[in-house]
Structure 1
């Protein structure tokens, strides 16, 4: 159920984007214990000049491979969030060659009433989920 929006610099092939999406999903499944088919991902590609991702004064180097992950989710424990950060960076480095310094993650929490998966119903509230 977490919705992941990924902003990247344009130029990756469809195959590279698929590998990135698969890596993100593996991290999500393991860290947040979501079902395998619980997959909602959107990729937005931008010209390099349209994406500025600085380091908040932490001296973190960024390259053209920078990827910004915005995750919208029901509440998660701090431990599962930290696990997700670590797993995502590991998956992206291992399968995509993206250095952990090029990964920024933001998680926004909402509640059950904030989700409708279709048919105009709030499935978490109706008991369908």
Structure 2
């Protein structure tokens, strides 16, 4: 179950925010086989005094509307799957949300089942270990 934090410029309209969330989610489903019902994306916003970034880092020209996507998920995806995920997110956001690929920042954090509790205060590892339930 990936947990996503997406940060957008404060002037991003609600419909575009939804398209961004949908594009990220679809890329996760398509590239890493995430089940469609595993949607957990916390969207926050920033203004010019809250997010400072290079407009030219690594030779990429960025606008005032950078979208930062922070993905936390269980360890185990190959580099090829991650490349497909990053490309899919950038393509979906460009096509469906009007976000330039140069404005998409993606950060991945991997951990294990023991690092999660996804409801009821239960240790996720204990749930995974319940065979046949």
Q: 1:124 to 1:7 in 2, by over 3 A?
A: same
Three-state SS of the structure 1 residue aligned to 2:49 is helix
Three-state SS of the structure 2 residue aligned to 1:126 is helix
Alignment of 1:1-129 (within 5 A): 1-54=1-54, 57-75=57-75, 76-127=77-128
* CA radius of gyration, larger in: 2
Matches of 1:17 and 1:125, distance apart in 2: 35
Where in structure 2 are there 5+ consecutive unaligned residues? Answer: none
Matches of 1:47 and 1:85, distance apart in 2: 25
**Residues 90-116 of structure 1 deviation map (CA, whole Å, 9 limit, x = unaligned):** 000000111110011110011011111
Where in structure 1 are there 5+ consecutive unaligned residues? Answer: none
Matches of 2:67 and 2:53, distance apart in 1: 9
Matches of 2:65 and 2:14, distance apart in 1: 15
Structure 1 stretches of 4+ with a deviation exceeding 4 A read none
Aligned residues: 129
**Residues 35-68 of structure 1 deviation map (CA, whole Å, 9 limit, x = unaligned):** 1001110111011231123268412111122101
- Contact 1:9/1:51 (8 A) holds in 2: no
CA RMSD of the aligned region, Å? 1.7
TM-score, with normalisation over the residues of structure 1?
0.92
